């Protein structure tokens, strides 16, 4: 019986070869950021209100002119073809059938033209590789194919160190060693499906259908990103894309302000599910300062760590307009293909509606900070503009205003206790 996302995770673990499960489930280095994503959600509490009219619960939201039936969409994930050869299209169909958006990754294993759902909200996620012409042709194709929004992922100037992948020797070209061969034999259905299609490839990276040049595939694999991509580069993207442009991977309020200055249409607070900088704060912890910096001028979205309908409610109450789901729908895809992904979407939708009702809130749009018990959520106080949360050295602490110093000290004391 699958009652929650942990049950789907267990099912995915049983069905996938170890190296594929670890690729999805794993995170960077000690995986402490991934754990923080969860534990910080658990530290947020919602104080329910009673005796309100709850005859109709409306979980839907409006964003960039589209109605989402739920306040969540599916986050971009690369290599979905390793979970299932048709993985990208299955997730896109599950999303469209549920009335929620699907964000297709640059590192997808199906072409964007084939994945787009005519009745869905289709978004495209962009990685800018060193060879910028690859990004240019992809943006052009996404526009021609009718994708609604472009999500520029900015937290991968270099790949995070995913130690599980290294230990499992998961790299392309795919040359399984004895341990992996033994593991593959224990998953004959998965193996047969992969053999039938010749394994996943970065087929989306080239303009025309056909073989992917080795150099392009290798650049995508090693995540050979353009390190010269800066805020100023957004002007280049703007010339190529006139629809909604979102930046994914922000955690610092000053970056949120820069996003505003550079005219983006939305920001996604994200630490890539803990897969990049292991020392990064949780997304839910970083959200309030970013919401304050943005001050309602553009929508703020969040991902990383969402496993329950109540997590969605907490993010919305702290100011996110919507959230994206990464691993949870992949666990569903692994455990039951398209139907499995839909079950996970239904599960989160059911949980979210129940949470709204239990909180005495009739619609997603009504969730606000008033619904939270702030006292039980010791997030760090807002940083003065220009300050970096990276280092908290004593000289800087002394330079802060006394009131703020007290707040930091109390917060840290809270966290230690």
Q: Where in the sequence numbering do the catalytic residues fall?
A: 272
Per CB under 6 A, 75 contacts ligand FNR? yes
E strands, 172-277, are 245-250, 266-269
Looking at residues 1 to 40 of the shown chain, list those that interact with ligand FNR (rule: CB under 6 A). Answer: 23-24, 37
By C-beta, is 326 or 361 nearer to ligand FNR?
Answer: 326
By C-beta, is 116 or 327 nearer to ligand FNR?
Answer: 327
Per CB under 6 A, 76 contacts ligand FNR? yes
Cβ-Cβ contacts under 8 Å for 177 (sequence gap 6 or more): 169
Which one, of 31, 3, 17, lies nearest residue 305 by Cα? 31
Shortest Cβ 230–ligand FNR spacing (Å): 18
Instruction: Tell me 169's DSSP state.
Output: T
Per CB under 6 A, 107 contacts ligand FNR? yes
Q: Which stretch binds ligand FNR (CB under 6 A): 43-51, 74-82, 256-264, 374-382?
A: 74-82
Helical axes 5-15 vs 18-25, angle rounded to 10°: 150
Per CB under 6 A, 314 contacts ligand FNR? no
Q: Which of 105, 122, 168, 335 binds ligand FNR (CB under 6 A)?
A: 105
Structure tokens at 347: 């599960």
Let me know: does 245 contact 150? Beta carbons within 8 Å.
yes
Question: Residues 375-409, buried b or exposed e (16+ Cβ, 10 A)?
Answer: eebbbbbebeeebebeeeeeeeeeebeeeeeebee
By C-beta, is 2 or 331 nearer to ligand FNR?
Answer: 331
Per CB under 6 A, 309 contacts ligand FNR? no
Per CB under 6 A, 304 contacts ligand FNR? yes
Q: Which of 71, 78, 288, 299 binds ligand FNR (CB under 6 A)?
A: 78
Whole-angstrom distance, CA of residue 135 vs CA of residue 137:
6
By C-beta, is 91 or 361 nearer to ligand FNR?
Answer: 91
Whole-angstrom distance, CA of residue 82 vs CA of residue 327:
14
Whole-angstrom distance, CA of residue 200 vs CA of residue 209:
14
Per CB under 6 A, 125 contacts ligand FNR? yes
Looking at residues 135 to 154 of the shown chain, list those that interact with ligand FNR (rule: CB under 6 A). Answer: 153
Whole-angstrom distance, CA of residue 307 vs CA of residue 4:
8
Whole-angstrom distance, CA of residue 325 vs CA of residue 240:
27
By C-beta, is 81 or 273 nearer to ligand FNR?
Answer: 273
Contacts 24+ apart (CB under 8 A), 409-412: 410/378, 411/378, 411/379, 411/380, 411/381
E strands, 253-330, are 266-269, 300-303, 322-325
Helical axes 283-294 vs 309-317, angle rounded to 10°: 30
Per CB under 6 A, 122 contacts ligand FNR? no
Q: Which stretch binds ligand FNR (CB under 6 A): 110-118, 196-204, 217-225, 267-275?
A: 267-275
Per CB under 6 A, 237 contacts ligand FNR? no
Shortest Cβ 38–ligand FNR spacing (Å): 8
Looking at residues 336 to 395 of the shown chain, list those that interact with ligand FNR (rule: CB under 6 A). Answer: none
Structure tokens at 356: 């709204």
Q: Which of 81, 87, 288, 305 binds ligand FNR (CB under 6 A)?
A: 305
Question: From the CA atom positions of the chain, what is the Rg in Å?
Answer: 21
Per CB under 6 A, 129 contacts ligand FNR? no
Per CB under 6 A, 267 contacts ligand FNR? no
Q: Which of 71, 120, 253, 273 binds ligand FNR (CB under 6 A)?
A: 273
Q: Which residues bind ligand FNR (CB under 6 A)?
A: 23-24, 37, 75-78, 105, 107, 125, 153, 248, 270, 272-273, 275, 303-306, 325-327
């Amino acid at each position: 019986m699958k009652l929650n996302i942990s049950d789907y995770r267990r099912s995915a673990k049983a069905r996938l070869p170890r190296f594929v499960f670890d690729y999805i489930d794993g995170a960077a280095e000690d995986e402490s950021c991934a754990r923080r994503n969860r534990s910080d959600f658990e530290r947020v509490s919602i104080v329910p209100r009673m005796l309100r009219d709850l005859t109709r619960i409306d979980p839907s939201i409006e964003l960039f002119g589209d109605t989402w039936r739920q306040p969540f969409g599916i986050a971009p994930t690369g290599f979905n073809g390793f979970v299932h050869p048709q993985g990208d299209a299955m997730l896109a169909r599950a999303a469209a059938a549920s009335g929620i958006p699907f964000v297709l990754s640059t590192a997808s294993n199906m072409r964007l033209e084939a994945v787009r759902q005519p009745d869905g909200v289709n978004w495209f996620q962009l990685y800018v590789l060193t060879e910028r012409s690859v990004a240019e042709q992809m943006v052009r194709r996404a526009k021609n194919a009718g994708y609604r929004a472009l999500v520029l992922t900015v937290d991968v100037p270099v790949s995070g160190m995913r130690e599980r992948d290294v230990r499992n020797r998961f790299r392309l070209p795919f040359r399984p060693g004895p341990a992996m061969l033994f593991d593959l034999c224990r998953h004959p259905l998965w193996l047969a499906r992969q053999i039938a299609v010749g394994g996943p490839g970065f087929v989306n990276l080239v303009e025309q259908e056909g073989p992917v040049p080795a150099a392009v595939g290798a650049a995508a694999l090693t995540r050979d990103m353009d390190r010269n991509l800066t805020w100023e580069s957004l002007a280049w993207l703007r010339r190529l894309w006139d629809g909604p442009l979102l930046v994914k991977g922000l955690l610092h309020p000053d970056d949120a302000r820069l996003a505003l200055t550079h005219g983006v249409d939305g920001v996604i607070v994200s630490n890539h599910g803990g897969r990049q900088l292991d020392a990064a704060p949780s997304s839910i912890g970083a959200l309030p300062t970013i919401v304050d910096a943005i001050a309602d001028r553009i929508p703020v979205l969040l991902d990383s760590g969402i496993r329950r309908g109540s997590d969605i409610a907490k993010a919305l109450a702290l100011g996110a307009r919507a959230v994206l789901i990464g691993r949870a729908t992949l666990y569903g895809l692994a455990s039951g293909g398209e139907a499995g992904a839909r079950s996970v979407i239904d599960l989160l939708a059911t949980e979210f509606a129940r949470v709204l009702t239990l909180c005495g809130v009739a619609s997603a749009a009504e969730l606000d900070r008033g619904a939270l018990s702030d006292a039980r959520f010791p997030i760090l106080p807002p940083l003065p503009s220009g300050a970096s949360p990276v280092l908290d050295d004593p000289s800087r602490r002394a330079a802060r205003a006394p009131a703020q110093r007290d707040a930091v000290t109390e917060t840290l004391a809270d966290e230690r206790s």
